[in-house]
Structure 1
C-alpha cells in the first residue's frame, strides 16, 4: 500500500505504522490455513475408503468439493456469509454423494466457526446455522437407509459447537468493546492533559482579567469592558495555540492512515492533504480502496475519539465512504485568527 502526503506547495512520504503489520498479515494467514485444510482433507479422504468400502470412490469431483469446502476459509474476514455457505454447502454435497472420509466434517465445522465468530447479529447467523446443521445431518444418512443415530449425533455435535462458539464470540466481542471504550477514555484524558498543559497560562490570565472586571464593573465600567475584551481575546488565542492544534492535526492524520491500513486492504493508495484556508487548517485523508463494510454502521471508537479531540479545540470532522470507492476523512482546525 502506497501512501503520500501533499501540502499546497508539495508532498512528502508518510511511512506505514509498524503496529498494524500483524493485521495486514492476517489475510495471508487465512489463505495459508485454507490451503492446509484443503490439502489435509483431500489427502486423508483419499485413503479413507480402505475402512469404508461401501463408499463411493474418490473422484475429481469429490476432491474439488473438499478443496472448495476448505478454501472457503480464506474469505472468512471479507465475506463470512459466503465463506460459510461454500464450506457447508460443499461438505453437504460431498456427504450426500456418499464419498468416503471423515475430514469433510472439518470443513463444515470450520464454516460454522466463521459464521458465528464473524457475524454478530444473531437473527442472521442463527437461522443459517440451523439450516447448515440440518443439511449436514441429513446428508450424513443415505437416502436408501437413513442412519437416524448417526444423523442425531452429527446434529448434537453441531449444536454443541454452535453454542460454545457463540459464547466465545460474544465474550471476545465484549472484551473488544471494553478495550475500545477504555481507549476512548484514555484519549479523553490525554486531550484534557494536553489542554491543561498548553492552556494553563491562558486560564490564569483569564482568571486575573475576570477578577479585574468584577472589581471595576460598578465604578469604572469602561475598564471592566476592556477586561472582558481581554478575556475574549485570551480565550480565542488559547483555542489556537500551536501545541494543541499541532497535536490534534497529528492525531487526525494518524487515525486516518490507521483506518486505511486496517480496512482498505492491500494495494491501496492513500493521500494526506493539509491546507491553510483562511483561519482554518483543513486536513483530508482519502484512499481509493473498496471496502463495503466501512460504509455501513456507526463509526468506530477510533473515529469517535478523534471527533471528540477535534471538537475540543473548536474544530469539525466528518468521515465516510466516498461515492463509488474509497473512504474520506475531513477535518477543520482553527488557527490563530479563529473566532
Structure 2
C-alpha cells in the first residue's frame, strides 16, 4: 500500500469513527430526530469510508459521500457530523478533478441535494438551506483555488527539475567535449609536426587521438542516454579523483608540462565532491590547452584539510598561445557545480602572467 493511500485510509477511518460517535451522542440533544439505527450507521460508514477512493476515483468518492449524506439527512437521523463527510467528499472532488467543467455540475447538484435535504420534513427552512448552499459554494471555491495553486507549484517544481537536469547534462557534455577536442587539437598538431621526421611519434599521437575520441563518444552517449531516458546499457561512473593521474598523463602527451600534487590524507571523500574536483582540474587543464597551448607549465594541487578539499591549478601563461582568463561556458559550469555542493570558486589572471583557478569544497556534502 502506498503511503498516500495509507494516509487516506487512516483519515477515512478516523472520520467515520468521529461521525458515528458524535452522532450517537447528539441524539441526546436532538430528541425530535430519528434514532441512529443500523441503517444510519451504515450510511455514516459509507460516507466516511468513501474518502479512501479520493485518489483513485474522486468522482466516485464524492458521489458516495454526498449521496449517503443526503440520504442520512432526508431520513432525519440525529447528528450534524454527517456534514463533515459531505464536505470532505466535495473537497475530494474539486481537488481530484482538474477541469472545472467536469466537477462544477456534480458539485452544484450535490449542493442542491444537501440544501434540500436540510429543509423538510419539519417544514422548509430557507435560512438554513441558504446557509448550507453558501457554505458549500465557498468550500468548493476555496478548495478549487487551493488545488490550482498546488498544481501550479507542482508544475513549476517539475519544470525546475527538468531545467536542472538539462543544465547538468549540458555541463557534462561541455566538460567531455571541450577537454577531448582541445586534447585532440593539440595531439593533431603534434602529429602534423612529427609526421615527416618522426613517424613513430606521429603514430602515437594518432593513437592517442583515437583513444580520446572513443572515450569522449562513450561518455557523450551515456549523457544522451540519460536525456532520452532509453536506459540502454550500463551508465558509466562519473570520473573522480582516482582518475586524475590518467587525466594528467593524457594532457602531458599534448606537450604541456603538468605537475600534480595530491595530499588527500587517506580520508573518505564524498562521491559528489570527488567528481566535482575532477571536473575542476579537467576544466582548468582544458583552458590551458585552449588558451595557452604547448609549452606551458601547469601545477595542480589537490589537498584536504580543515573539513574541506582544496584544488588550485596555476599555469605560467608561457605557451605558444595567449593566456586568456576565459569566463565562458566552462567556468560558468564550474561555478554552478561548486555552488551546488556549497563550495567556493575563484578564477583569474596572475599579476606576473598566467592564470589561477582556486576551489574550496566542503567535505560534509552529501554523497
Query: 2:137 aligned with 1:159, yes or no?
Result: yes
Please list the CA deviations of residues 211-249 of structure 1 after superposition, one character each: whole Å capped at 9, or x if unmatched. Answer: 9xxxxxxxxxxxxxxxxxxxxx899847732x3444565
Query: 2:242 aligned with 1:240, yes or no?
Result: no
C-alpha contact (below 8 Å) 1:205/1:234 kept by paired residues = no
Please list the CA deviations of residues 144-173 of structure 1 after superposition, one character each: whole Å capped at 9, or x if unmatched. Answer: 511111111100110111111111111111
Q: Taking structure 1 as the reference length, what is the TM-score of the superposition?
A: 0.58
State the Cα RMSD in Å.
3.4
C-alpha contact (below 8 Å) 1:206/1:234 kept by paired residues = no
C-alpha contact (below 8 Å) 2:169/2:227 kept by paired residues = no
Cα distance, 1:201 vs. partner?
2.8
1:68 and 1:161 map into 2 onto residues whose CA distance is 22
Cα distance, 1:251 vs. partner?
7.8
Equivalent residue for 2:73, pick from 72, 95, 101: 95
Query: 2:177 aligned with 1:199, yes or no?
Result: yes
Partner of 2:274: none
Q: Taking structure 2 as the reference length, what is the TM-score of the superposition?
A: 0.53
Equivalent residue for 1:172, pick from 142, 150, 163: 150
C-alpha contact (below 8 Å) 1:96/1:142 kept by paired residues = yes
- Change in 2 beyond 3 A, CA 1:121/1:96: same
SS at match of 1:36: helix
Query: 2:18 aligned with 1:25, yes or no?
Result: no
Partner of 1:64: 42
1:248-263 map, 5 Å: none
Equivalent residue for 1:82, pick from 60, 71, 81: 60
1:1-339 map, 5 Å: 24-143=2-121, 145-204=123-182, 237=214, 240-241=217-218, 243-246=219-222
C-alpha contact (below 8 Å) 2:48/2:85 kept by paired residues = yes
1:274 and 1:202 map into 2 onto residues whose CA distance is 24
Cα distance, 1:274 vs. partner?
5.8
1:135 and 1:184 map into 2 onto residues whose CA distance is 45
SS at match of 1:73: helix
**Of the two structures, which has the highest relative contact order with CA contacts closer than 8 Å and spacing of 6 or more?**
1
- Change in 2 beyond 3 A, CA 1:199/1:275: closer
1:250 and 1:191 map into 2 onto residues whose CA distance is 8
SS at match of 1:240: helix
2:161 and 2:51 map into 1 onto residues whose CA distance is 31
1:140 and 1:162 map into 2 onto residues whose CA distance is 18
- Change in 2 beyond 3 A, CA 1:103/1:197: same
C-alpha contact (below 8 Å) 1:199/1:238 kept by paired residues = no
